[in-house]
Chains A and B, each alone.
Chain A
Amino acid sequence: MAIHRHDNHKSANAFMEWVDQRFPATKVWNEHLAEYMAAKNFNFWYFFGSLAILMLVVQIATGIFLTMHYKPDAELAFASVEYIMRDVPFGWLVRYLHSTGASMFFVVVYLHMFRGVIYGSHREPRELVWLIGCVIFVALMAEAFMGYLLPWGNMSYWGAQVILSLFDVIPFVGPALTEWIRGDFVISDATLNRFFAFHVILLPLILVALVFLHLVALHQVGSNNPDGIDIYENLDEDGKPVDGIPFFPYIVIKDLIGVAGFLIVYLGIVFFWPDFGGIFLEKDNFAPANPLQTPPDIVPLWYFTPFYSILRASTTSLLFALQIITGIVFIWMWLRAKVSIKAKVALSVVAAGVMVGLMLGSGKAWGVVLMAAAIVCFFLLPWLDRSPVYSIRYRSMPFKIALVLFLVAFFILGYLGMNAPTPAKTLLAQVCTVIYFAFFALMPWFTSIGQTKPEPSRVTYEAH
């Protein structure tokens, strides 16, 4: 047998040599673990990528055991979850690991995304890593939404009713599309059955595939670091970055410390506080689905509430405010912005379109558009961020102020989404919605002004 391809990865022994001639085991191990160089100054923010993978594995593993007892049938579903909780040996543990796991997955993913924003990990050349990550975020939201219908509690039912009705506002095809997704004229057994299929087969497959692509893209460009500088600009005589250390074993060992700390928190909640005060498991979901009775305080799970608040804040007065803001930005741009006349004309057309659209559409349709836009904004970050430096350590003051404002608005929106709407709370949600979108719309401006600090040529690191 002739071996045509050679590479310089030395097999450890005769057996591995036999394998390596047929399968690139040593090559993959070296390129992605033993010789994948990461900056030596990784801090705790870098735990959350590997923790997200851990949570994906935990959710898949616990999910497999739950499907052994769960019945995806409107008549049986609620009772089968109670059966898991009461009669199946350690069923309560598997179920709480899964339900708490869903929330912890989102905690980890939100922190992972925030890490990207503060250290500029979404910037060139990592745009595709970021974009694939955003798609993972959307797929994860779909996965969580469908999983939440399965216990067939009253909040499951009405949450699904609200979110599926969002598609109704799509012109012409909306109502037919919702009917097709539900498989019935209302949320019913047919809906539950197909959500089960999507939740346990389709979306997990998509998520695993996307995570694979996320890592392939990351390993093509290399990991960022807390200083946001390129470690490949300082190489030693072997061509390895002087500030880099191999992912295996160094980063793996470090991540295991993160895993240990994370498990203390995660299992602490699982064992001592699994409903997390009604935030991880909502009290209305301890009653079976009732198509005639909307729960008094219908709220989605906490990880959707910022976006849900934006949906809810969209009333005629918000649209009016958005029109005025679009107008001001438009005038300011003509007078002040240093862009070409072509770009000004193009942006004017966009602004005019937005203003006419805001006049024509109803608050309901725009609520859905704004909620979708709130998520789409994340996809655009690599191109909205114009700062000459990547890391928050060297960023200008305007960026730091804007980021803090955005965080405050995001948390307030999340809090308001968990509470019943009142006129004052709706107004606050509208103010925060404006701040949310202003953060993205004005990012090209506030990232290009102010004094940035000089970036170091080597990563900031002190040996312990």
Chain B
Amino acid sequence: MADNNVSDVNANGMSVEDQKRRRFLTGITAGFGAVGVGAAVVPFVLSMSPSERAKNAGAPVQYDFSKIQEGQLVKVEWRGKPVVLLKRSGEMMAGLDTIKGSLADPDSAASIQPGYAQNNQRADAARPELLVMEGVCTHLGCSPVEKLAIGPDPQMGEDSQGGFFCPCHGSKFDLAGRVYKDVPATTNMPVPPYKFEGSVITIGEDDGRNA
């Protein structure tokens, strides 16, 4: 079977069968070597994923919203992101209807929000004037600047009904976080889950309610 003379002649002198055998052994050794290298890479790749400490840092936050005046905006940090709390005035609420035609996703069909906030105000019907929203542009994650005044604005346009303007790439949103047409962002700013207990709002928790 095995040809003991192989070592005495050069590789070209090998029988076809021995050449096949050598190719097979080389291939299978290299193959298993590649599997081993792949397995060795796994722990290094996984070591770059969020750590347990990072995962535990996402607890809900609470805020007493009775302190917020009409037309005032405050920012609360939740999971390292700015959450906007805005108590909208009657004029601001009225403006939400007039601009529907210039919005990219007026019914929030393609946007992220709990079921109870998928309406014209993008807010829980219990407190429709209170906008609770992650102040994070859906384009590339900047924090849009508030442009609460109604009227002409260099960035928001001549007949602005108030809104948010992203300084990074010029995306525009209305006072419900809905995105305008023909700007880099294409979806509305997300609304996080939230719930009320008296005058305290808990952001990041809604007990799984949908309405």
Contact = CB atoms under 8 A, between A and B. Distances in A.
A245 interface: no
Nearest to A187: B80
Contacts, number: 105
Contacts of B50: 179, 182-185, 190
A296 B145 CA distance: 8
A422 interface: yes
A64 to B, nearest CB: 25
B142 interface: yes
Which interface residue of A190, A295, A317, A421 has the most chain B CB atoms within 10 A? A421
A281 B202 CA distance: 40
Interface stretch (A23-31, A217-225, A344-352, A359-367): A359-367
A297 B166 CA distance: 9
B58 interface: yes
Contact of A294 (B79, B143, B184): B143
B80 A186 contact: yes
> In the complex, which range does the number of interface residues on chain B fall in?
35 or more
Contacts of B145: 294, 296
Given A184-B54, A185-B54, A298 B168 contact: yes
B204 to A, nearest CB: 12
B100 interface: no
A180 interface: yes
Interface residues of A, number: 41
Which interface residue of B139, B157, B181 has the most chain A CB atoms within 10 A? B139
Contacts of A293: 82, 143
Given A179-B50, A180-B49, A421-B169, A185 B58 contact: yes
Which interface residue of A162, A181, A314 has the most chain B CB atoms within 10 A? A162
B194 to A, nearest CB: 18
Given A194-B48, A291-B80, A298 B184 contact: no
Interface in A308-329: 311-312, 314-317
Contacts of B168: 158, 162, 294, 298, 312
Contacts of A403: none
Contacts of B48: 180-181, 183, 194
B77 interface: yes
Contact of B167 (A165, A168, A181, A297): A297
Interface of B: 45, 48-51, 54, 58, 75, 77, 79-82, 138-145, 154-155, 157, 166-170, 181-186
Interface of A: 158, 161-162, 164-166, 168, 179-186, 188, 190, 194, 291-298, 311-312, 314-317, 362-364, 367, 420-423, 426
For the complex of A and B, the 8 pairs showing the least CB-CB separation, nearest first, are: A421-B170, A186-B80, A294-B143, A165-B140, A165-B141, A292-B82, A312-B169, A184-B54
Given A168-B140, A311-B184, A362-B186, 7 more contacts: A162-B168, A164-B141, A186-B79, A294-B145, A294-B166, A296-B167, A421-B170
